[in-house]
């Protein structure tokens, strides 16, 4: 359901304060308490800047902490809860990579073959900003595309079509069989294909007429991929399972991680993990109305997912400053654990 408000609702001037779960262990390390405090401050700042909702889950060994601030929708005003589903842009790319690399493992696809070999009607299509026909692009290049929001969304759209054509099923059914079902990810769904999703967190954009709900706005063009919704906890569970090798053969996971010195592999971002002199892996997401970061240590022991219904702003094809801010905060918070030993 969409709606427009001409003035900021009272939920934004007096938002619900973050509610947090207790860590899962009776004895909590000091660094974990410091980490919680830092994230609570960050959450409050985003809410004060107009973010309708901020959902966080952080894991360290057996310690788990969640935080939920804001409201599910500006119209309803009900406080968010930590298990609520929200659009998590960027995470879809990692799941598409899993599906494509499973096809490669089975010999049904090859990374360096033009996508027109799998979807012939893409042969002559040209994506906005591209230098040639989409059909000439390889699966490898599409999975490694991180050049900007518009380009990345078009890549996800093409990858979706390839997976659906080769599997003979809708992407939601493929992901349910390959990822969501085996891992018990009950909150995950594709917003574009699903029926009404209970407790869905809504996102907004600003227009000349006020603030408009764009959560379920149909895609304006065929260059928009499906939108993945999930709780923060289910994103962390997916990341941990992926990095533990539960979804792909070792060779496929290595391809997703990419070269050690690279910034991006086939479906995973990477950042410096100063605690181990290795890398964090995950994905940043930037969709109109929403921002996401999920970041995990290579062993999945330390994880952080922040999913935000962004402060409303005009829809633009340019990268959002919030996406960069989320990434920086996640890296700083996880790297602060180097001073202590996590349990």
Other beta carbons within 10 Å of 231? 26
Residue 221 is predicted with a pLDDT of 47
The arithmetic mean of pLDDT across residues 159-173, rounded, is 97
**pLDDT, tens digit, 9 for 90 and up, residues 28-63:** 677 778 888 999 999 999 999 999 999 999 998 888
CA distance 143 to 104: 13
Other beta carbons within 10 Å of 28? 16
CA distance 220 to 319: 19
Average pLDDT, the chain: 87
CB 207 within 8 A of CB 138: no
Kindly tell me if the per-residue pLDDT of 72 is higher than 70: yes
Kindly tell me if the per-residue pLDDT of 194 is higher than 70: no
Give the pLDDT band (50/70/90) at residue 214.
very high
Q: For 48-57, 108-117, 220-229, which range has the lowest pLDDT when averaged over its residues?
A: 220-229
**pLDDT, tens digit, 9 for 90 and up, residues 287-305:** 999 999 999 999 999 999 9
Percent of the chain predicted with pLDDT > 70: 86
Kindly tell me if the per-residue pLDDT of 9 is higher than 50: no
**pLDDT, tens digit, 9 for 90 and up, residues 126-150:** 765 555 678 789 999 999 987 777 7
CA distance 304 to 282: 10
pTM of the predicted model as reported, rounded to 2 decimal places: 0.89
DSSP 9: -
DSSP structure string for 93-125: HHHHHHHHHHHHHTTS--TTSBGGGT-GGGTT-
Contacts 24+ apart (CB under 8 A), 168-171: 171/99, 171/226
17 vs 205 pLDDT, higher one: 205
Q: For 85-94, 101-110, 317-326, 333-342, which range has the lowest pLDDT when averaged over its residues?
A: 333-342
User: Alpha-carbon Rg of the chain, whole angstroms?
Assistant: 20
CA distance 305 to 239: 10
């Amino acid at each position: 359901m969409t709606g427009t408000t001409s003035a900021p609702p009272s939920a934004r001037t007096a938002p619900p304060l973050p509610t947090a779960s207790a860590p899962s262990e009776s004895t909590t390390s000091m660094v974990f308490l410091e980490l919680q405090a830092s994230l609570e401050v960050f959450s409050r700042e985003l809410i004060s800047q107009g973010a309708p909702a901020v959902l966080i889950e952080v894991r360290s060994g057996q310690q788990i902490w969640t935080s939920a601030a804001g409201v599910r929708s500006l119209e309803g005003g009900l406080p968010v809860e930590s298990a609520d589903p929200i659009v998590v842009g960027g995470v879809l790319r990692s799941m598409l990579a899993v599906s494509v690399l499973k096809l490669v493992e089975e010999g049904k696809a090859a990374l360096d073959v033009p996508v027109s070999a799998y979807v012939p009607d893409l042969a002559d299509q040209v994506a906005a900003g591209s230098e040639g026909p989409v059909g000439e692009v390889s699966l490898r290049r599409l999975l490694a595309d991180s050049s900007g929001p518009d380009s990345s969304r078009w890549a996800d759209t093409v990858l979706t079509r390839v997976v659906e054509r080769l599997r003979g099923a809708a992407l939601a059914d493929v992901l349910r069989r390959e990822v969501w079902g085996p891992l018990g990810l009950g909150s995950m769904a594709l917003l574009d294909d699903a029926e009404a999703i209970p407790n869905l967190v809504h996102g907004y954009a600003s227009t000349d007429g006020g603030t408009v709900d764009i959560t379920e706005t149909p895609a304006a063009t065929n260059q928009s991929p499906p939108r993945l919704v999930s709780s923060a906890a289910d994103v962390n569970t997916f990341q941990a399972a992926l990095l533990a090798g539960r979804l792909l053969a070792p060779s496929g996971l290595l391809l997703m991680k990419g070269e050690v010195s690279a910034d991006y592999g086939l479906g995973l971002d990477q950042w410096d993990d100063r605690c181990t002199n290795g890398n964090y892996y995950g994905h940043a997401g930037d969709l109109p109305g929403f921002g996401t970061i999920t970041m995990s240590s290579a062993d999945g022991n330390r994880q952080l997912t922040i999913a935000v219904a962004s402060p409303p702003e005009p829809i633009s094809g340019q990268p959002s400053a919030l996406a960069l801010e989320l990434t920086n905060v996640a890296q700083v918070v996880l790297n602060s654990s180097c001073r202590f030993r996590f349990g």
